[in-house]
Chains A and B, each alone.
Chain A
């Protein structure tokens, strides 16, 4: 018989501490949909997605009911569209529309993969896709886009950084009536991963099987509640508590993933060991850091506390599941985390501090609202800075900033729901234009001669 304490602990974690499965994401390869005729290609894309994911939402809901654990999102990621659309030699926006229609048909709330990988240069289809991102995100509802501009192996494509600075702005400008939401659906990566289940940066890499299920777990509230019981523990014990609770969280992710994969007849890929916050009370990563002992997230000590948290989450999760992947780590999206929002409003949390934090956790400058008059080159430089951290530290980093067109410091953008709301955060005024305008490739870093 199960132990009463264990049963009640599980129920408390779900009912009171916001434990949930953040996403079941089905990765679908579209390589067999390539066609020189764009209409035919789009039809194949629509048919393949709706066929493969026909039962995704139904099975997700079934599992939710059976195990009594909420599965917040059911999503789809596809092969980077720049690869699929290259043969068409025209604007790939119809692909975005086909993806959007397919997402609505099967009932998933987001579909990722309107993406291009340009870390070493632009190939056929890449430029057309990147140029079309603002329109694609403005005329669709559920499509998410990402562009990889750098990697540890290839270095950083500075031309792509410059281009993306402009594209991010255009995404915001085109959706100004919807609180600049277009830019919230676009992520610029360095070292992007092929099996990421989280949006907006998910795509299905070309090295992946035809179709697979990846799972992203969550549970910042559970970690915080566990730490609350140890107000006087030393930091080694704190790391231990986080490890143990992460193990439990991740086990549920593994169970849900295996069950979904069996019922859908699709191989199970990975569990993304993550602490993904939501704006809901009690579901904040910032509050964990504050529970560890910071008066407010963003103050001195935040990077160290976050490094410990991130590492302990991975150590606990590794043993709990068969395969790990995705972004795996603590997320620090500003607008999606009640504690981060408060810290940013109070001025304790700055972009510079967030940048330092991204060096020790997953993933990057995420869901940060910047002033509407921020220049494209400044955004490009923010992207280059963040990509440099990823490149040198052999980790994934990303930028998802939202220029609040027409707004300045003191105002905010509010999207509601899981995306939350974010105050406009200050950026430096001095121009990086000459640096960004040089173009070319920042060479890959040396990873030997480590003495």
Chain B
């Protein structure tokens, strides 16, 4: 089971570090990362393994969203299936 973590907002120092630390706290293994900075807008997409989470999915999603709020970023954590079903036949 994998989830997609999307981080969108103004670029700043340490975004990747903080988000991956939070993932590690929940035992979510980061598998792939792509990121781009377009005119100061930071967009990062992480694919994380959620099959061995220490807690439940909701607490990971809530913690990441709260981390985003504290940094002025939008962080969405969603199961990868929603993207796969919508964009692949």
Interface residues of A (CB under 8 A from B): 1-4, 6-11, 15, 62, 65-69, 248, 251-252, 254-255, 259, 319
Contact = CB atoms under 8 A, between A and B. Distances in A.
A15 B85 CA distance: 18
Interface in B33-74: 34, 36, 43, 45, 47, 57-58, 61, 74
Contacts of A252: 82, 85-86
Given A67-B81, A248-B86, A252-B82, 16 more contacts: A1-B34, A2-B45, A2-B80, A2-B83, A2-B84, A6-B86, A7-B45, A10-B87, A66-B78, A67-B78, A68-B76, A68-B77, A69-B78, A251-B86, A254-B85, A319-B89
A2 B47 contact: yes
Contacts, number: 71
Contacts of A7: 4, 6, 45, 83
Given A1-B47, A4-B43, A67 B4 contact: no
Contact of B82 (A1, A68, A319): A68
A258 B12 CA distance: 40
Contacts of A254: 85
A4 B85 contact: no
Contacts of B80: 2
Nearest to B47: A1
Contacts of B85: 251-252, 254-255
Interface residues of B, number: 26
A319 B89 CA distance: 9
Contact of B78 (A6, A9, A68, A319): A68
A37 to B, nearest CB: 44
Contacts of B6: 7-8, 11
A283 to B, nearest CB: 19
A262 B6 CA distance: 27
Give the one of A7, A248, A252 with max B CB within 10 A: A7
A2 B82 contact: no
